[in-house]
């Protein structure tokens, strides 16, 4: 992982001398300059791509070329919908159509001598997106680094809970027990041969005088212990020893080498962030309802992820008003019966939605909400063309999300753990309740924009910085 170290502009970083502040200001100007240059390159390439495309279309008098491309996208979207929502022959017809549509367009363009022009347009557009993304990434990273931090007080009795199985054995591989011991921490290694009451272990540690709690393990375990730390206003240490480490990633920690997280014990600073709450249970990343949560409950899921998913999706996507159909409200507003509903501890980047995204901040005091409702082929086609702007997807923030169903229990996946809860299930946010102790020297949260927001790129190109990170 590359460590993009970003100066802390506008943040409360106590204990830095005037020289450091000056150096930071200089580095910040350098980042602004780089962001501006990249944004200008992005705008230039995008304009060039559009002008070139229009010129070719006018020269060839071939508006049909554009229409063919658009039609292929629509047909591919409908094919993909048939693939996930049908079984048997219709499913495979859908798959064939989804693959054949783009191939047909390529063959048509090639046969028409349009392929060379297409390559130029695609290359210019790809360059525009790459430059735009890099510009946004630098800008967003600078903002993410502006999470306010305060110096961390000295520790007397830090207690770390470590799961030797997490991340395929990272605790042993990185010598975390020995390294933590050398830094003066007490380590409790979980006995994974039987289920352990992690929350109980954390509570006992507090009763015995722990002045910091930490976890080397998956995000589900992080959430349970973080909640105990928050309850006692103790600092919490995240050690990125899980498999996915989404929480560590959004805190700007090093995910490649979990032992670097231990540096926070000797040279740390503190951030104050929010925790999600799902019917009284804390979550650090996401609570997921609907199709995904239902599929991961299936015992066959562990053995065959894609097989189970393909088998169950048709019923989940088209089995309309059954007892399991979700009714959901965000701050009192009805969400169209969601097939997939993701509630997140702070929203993912404005342009990011399901999966793969990052949260620019963890201290905004709001939940992120992404709800998907695809009614049929027309919605699927619209989704293929418009993406998250289509009517099938709702992306918003909320302070409370209420999920209900006729069924006796609702399957929920909370930070990757599968649960069944009695409806209604209410999600809220606990603003600023968690003190997180992080190493002062850390990679920093670097949000990856998956979609280029041209308004922000345009603003960066003319020397204005992007959107307010707290928005």
Ligand X SMILES: Nc1ncnc2c1ncn2[C@@H]1O[C@H](COP(=O)(O)OP(=O)(O)OP(=O)(O)O)[C@@H](O)[C@H]1O
| 440 in contact with ligand X (CB under 6 A) | no
**Given 218, 282, 347, 444, the residue binding ligand X (CB under 6 A):** 218
Closest among 139, 143, 168 to 31, alpha carbons compared = 139
Q: Which residue is nearest to ligand X (CB)?
A: 218
DSSP letter (8 states) at residue 431? E
| 166 in contact with ligand X (CB under 6 A) | yes
Which of helix, strand or coil describes residue 241? Answer: coil
Rounded least distance, CB 469 to ligand X, Å: 26
Specify the residue, 215 or 328, whose C-beta has the smaller distance to ligand X.
Answer: 215
Rounded least distance, CB 436 to ligand X, Å: 17
DSSP string, 458-469: HHHHTT-----T
**Given 29, 110, 192, 389, the residue binding ligand X (CB under 6 A):** 192
| 282 in contact with ligand X (CB under 6 A) | no
Rounded least distance, CB 249 to ligand X, Å: 11
**Given 196, 311, 397, 467, the residue binding ligand X (CB under 6 A):** 196
| 221 in contact with ligand X (CB under 6 A) | yes
CA 290 distance to own-chain centroid: 18
**Tokens, residue 435:** 């003190």
Judged by CB under 6 A, the stretch of 79-87, 236-244, 431-439, 459-467 that binds ligand X is: 236-244
If you count them, how many residues does the chain have? 471
| 214 in contact with ligand X (CB under 6 A) | no
Rounded least distance, CB 253 to ligand X, Å: 13
Rounded least distance, CB 166 to ligand X, Å: 4
**Tokens, residue 101:** 């549509």
Closest among 398, 428, 391, 426 to 330, alpha carbons compared = 398
| 167 in contact with ligand X (CB under 6 A) | yes
Main-chain phi, psi angles of 117, to 5 degrees: -65, -40
Q: Using CB under 6 A, count the residues that bind ligand X.
A: 18
| 195 in contact with ligand X (CB under 6 A) | yes
| 244 in contact with ligand X (CB under 6 A) | yes
Rounded least distance, CB 153 to ligand X, Å: 28
**Tokens, residue 131:** 């430059």
**Tokens, residue 123:** 């290359």
**Given 243, 389, 409, 420, the residue binding ligand X (CB under 6 A):** 243
Judged by CB under 6 A, the stretch of 101-109, 187-195, 273-281, 323-331 that binds ligand X is: 187-195
| 203 in contact with ligand X (CB under 6 A) | no
Which of helix, strand or coil describes residue 64? Answer: helix
| 416 in contact with ligand X (CB under 6 A) | yes
Rounded least distance, CB 439 to ligand X, Å: 20
Rounded least distance, CB 306 to ligand X, Å: 18
| 256 in contact with ligand X (CB under 6 A) | no
DSSP string, 243-270: SS-HHHHHTT--SS-GGGGGGGGTSEEE
DSSP string, 159-225: EEEE-TTGGGTHHHHTTHHHHHHHTT-EEEE--TTS---HHHHHHHHHHTT-SEEEEES-HHHHHHH
| 118 in contact with ligand X (CB under 6 A) | no
**Given 177, 190, 262, 446, the residue binding ligand X (CB under 6 A):** 190
Distances (CA, A) of 128 to 54, 57, 135, 141, 454: 17, 20, 11, 20, 10
| 163 in contact with ligand X (CB under 6 A) | yes
Judged by CB under 6 A, the stretch of 33-41, 88-96, 191-199, 205-213 that binds ligand X is: 191-199
- Pairwise CA distance, residues 273 & 319, whole Å: 39
| 258 in contact with ligand X (CB under 6 A) | no
Residue pair 352/450 in contact by the 8 Å Cβ criterion: yes
| 250 in contact with ligand X (CB under 6 A) | no
Main-chain phi, psi angles of 400, to 5 degrees: -145, 135
Interface residues toward ligand X, by CB under 6 A = 163, 165-167, 190, 192, 195-196, 198, 217-221, 242-244, 416
């Amino acid at each position: 992982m590359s460590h993009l170290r970003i100066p802390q502009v506008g943040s409360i970083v106590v204990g830095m001398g005037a020289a450091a502040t000056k150096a930071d200001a200089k580095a910040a100007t350098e980042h602004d300059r780089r962001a501006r240059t990249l944004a200008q390159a992005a705008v230039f390439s995008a304009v060039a791509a559009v002008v070139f495309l229009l010129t070719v279309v006018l020269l060839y008098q071939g508006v049909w070329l554009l229409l063919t491309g658009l039609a292929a996208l629509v047909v591919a979207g409908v094919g993909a919908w048939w693939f996930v929502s049908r079984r048997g022959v219709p499913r495979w017809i859908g798959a064939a159509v989804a693959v054949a549509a783009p191939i047909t367009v390529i063959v048509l363009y090639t046969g028409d001598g349009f392929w060379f022009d297409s390559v130029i347009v695609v290359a210019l557009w790809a360059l525009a997106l790459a430059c735009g993304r890099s510009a946004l990434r630098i800008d967003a990273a600078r903002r993410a680094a502006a999470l306010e931090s305060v110096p961390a007080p000295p520790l007397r009795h830090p207690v770390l809970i470590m799961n030797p199985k997490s991340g395929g054995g990272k605790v042993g591989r990185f010598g975390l027990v020995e390294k933590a011991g050398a830094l003066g921490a007490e380590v409790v290694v979980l006995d994974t041969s039987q289920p352990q009451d992690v929350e109980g272990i954390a509570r006992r540690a507090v009763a015995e005088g722990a002045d910091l709690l930490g976890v080397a393990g998956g995000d589900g375990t992080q959430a349970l212990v973080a909640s105990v730390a928050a309850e006692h206003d103790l600092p919490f240490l995240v050690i990125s020893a899980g498999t996915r480490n989404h929480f560590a990633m959004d805190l700007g920690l090093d995910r490649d080498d979990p032992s670097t997280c231990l540096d926070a014990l000797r040279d740390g600073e503190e951030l104050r962030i929010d925790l999600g709450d799902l019917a009284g249970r804390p979550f650090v990343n996401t609570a997921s309802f609907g199709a995904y949560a239902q599929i991961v409950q299936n015992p066959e899921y562990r053995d065959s992820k894609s097989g189970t998913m393909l088998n169950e999706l048709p019923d989940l996507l088209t089995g309309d008003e059954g007892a399991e159909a979700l009714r959901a409200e965000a701050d009192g507003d009805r969400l169209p019966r969601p097939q997939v509903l993701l509630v997140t501890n702070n929203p993912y980047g404005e342009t990011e939605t399901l999966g793969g995204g990052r949260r620019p901040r963890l201290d905004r005091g709001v939940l992120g909400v992404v709800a998907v409702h695809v009614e049929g082929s027309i919605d699927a086609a619209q989704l293929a063309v418009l993406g998250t702007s289509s009517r099938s997807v709702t992306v918003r923030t909320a302070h409370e999300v209420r999920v209900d169903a006729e069924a006796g229990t609702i399957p929920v996946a909370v930070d990757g753990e599968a649960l069944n809860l009695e409806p209604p299930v209410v999600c809220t946010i606990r603003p600023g309740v968690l003190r997180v102790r992080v190493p002062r020297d850390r990679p920093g949260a670097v949000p990856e924009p998956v979609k280029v927001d041209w308004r922000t790129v345009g603003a960066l190109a003319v020397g204005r910085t992007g959107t307010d990170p707290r928005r």
